[in-house]
Amino acid sequence: MAQRVNDEPGQGEPALTGDFHEVLRLAIARRGLSLARIRAHLEHRGVHIGLSTLSYWQRGIRHPEVPKAVPAVRALESVLDLPEDSLVVLIGQRGERTRDNRVAPSFTYLHPDQTGPAAERLLTELGDPGTMAGNADLEIMFVHDTCTFDAQQREEKLVTRLVTRARKNGPDRYVMVYNGDDGCRIEDVTFNTGEGCRTGRIRRRAGEQTLAVELLFDRKLAEGDVHVFSYEVFDSSGGVSPGYHRIFRYGCSTFLLQLQFDALALPARCTRQFRPHGGAQPSESEDLPCDVRGVTSAFFHDSAPGLAGVAVEWT
């Protein structure tokens, strides 16, 4: 926990120590400013940042990205009357650990409680540590998933389009991981690429429910480049589906999920959910309507790392 310690020379307030989110939280309390006021001060300094992002930072749900967030953190130091580099030093330390230990993929899960050991093993079998780190070098700006269900209440098709931005020079691929529903025959699952990518290496094991696919771009992206790509997964081998969830290892700016149901097998209930991790209870839960065409839509904005999706009840 952050603590007040010895007075800094020339300062009327004691310095703060602790992890970034703890120091930030106490500094905000010491200044007595609301997050809305802090955001306004930042805007005046030319720094644009969302209220939800500030909230995530002070609660420890998210951590500022290095080096992208450094200007915003320096502006926070100014707004909160903190010594120069007092917050920047804290995110730099975290950033080094993240680069050393990160595991790349934004996994796609159809079961909220799966942790994905089979997926991790398949990724290791790709035999390229650079590939495994590649997803971390892509900022996920927008994801649109459309999941189609058949008359037997099974998930049968997933169409995904992603808008990404390179965090650094060099990323040229993305690793997609798909986990089928219970009973899935992963050897029967088929896969197509759309615009912006082609199929690279594929890993799957008979008797398991996980498919890992390397999506190759046509070039190496430069820092700041925006790249759009899409893919489709076809799988009607599983049992009655509990719904669809996508896990974001690094959060996501915007996620639109649409579920399309067969007219002969409409669900009894659809619930928009967000979970901070697979074993957690939903921290967000909201019933969704299903329109006359059998479509329900869930929108997530500026989501923290975790699982976002829609749970389906059929009876």
Which two tokens mark 25?
Answer: 């939280």
* Domain final position from 100, 119, 148: 100
* Domain final position from 58, 85, 100: 100
Closest CA to 234 of 150, 156, 148: 156
Residues 71-89: pLDDT tens digits? 889 899 999 988 887 888 8
CATH number of 305's domain? 2.60.40
pLDDT band at 249 (very low <50, low <70, confident <90, very high): confident
Q: What is the pTM of this model?
A: 0.64
Both 200 and 218 in one domain: the answer is yes
Which two tokens mark 177?
Answer: 């991981």
Into how many domains does the chain fold?
A: 2
Scored b (16 or more CB within 10 A) or e, 290-301 reads: beeebebbbebe
Both 299 and 261 in one domain: the answer is yes
Long-range own/partner contacts, residues 194-197 (CB < 8 A, 24 or more apart): 194/161, 194/229, 194/230, 194/231, 194/232, 195/228, 195/229, 195/230, 196/227, 196/228, 196/229, 196/230, 197/229, 197/230, 197/231
SS (H, E, C) 205-253: CCCCCEEEEEEECCCCCCCCCEEEEEEEEECCCCCCCCEEEEEECCCEE
Both 43 and 182 in one domain: the answer is no
CATH number of 93's domain? 1.10.260
* Domain final position from 67, 100, 133: 100
Written as one string, the DSSP assignment of 79-94 is HTTPPTTTTHHHHHHH
By three-state DSSP, how is residue 204 classified?
A: strand
Using the predicted structure, report yes or no on whether residue 24 has a pLDDT greater than 60.
yes
Could you identify the residue written with the tokens 């703890």? 22
Distances (CA, A) of 73 to 1, 61, 78, 91, 268: 20, 16, 9, 9, 46
Residues 291-313: pLDDT tens digits? 989 999 999 988 788 889 999 99
Which two tokens mark 218?
Answer: 């046509």
Both 87 and 186 in one domain: the answer is no
Both 49 and 168 in one domain: the answer is no
Closest CA to 63 of 35, 102, 34: 102
Both 173 and 295 in one domain: the answer is yes
Both 134 and 249 in one domain: the answer is yes
Measure CA 133 to chain center. Answer: 15
Both 203 and 72 in one domain: the answer is no
Range of the domain at 152: 104-313
* Cα–Cα distance for residue pair 304/64, rounded to 1 Å: 12
* Cα–Cα distance for residue pair 213/277, rounded to 1 Å: 23
Both 110 and 30 in one domain: the answer is no
Residues 180-217: pLDDT tens digits? 888 889 999 999 999 999 999 998 877 778 888 999 99
Both 80 and 113 in one domain: the answer is no
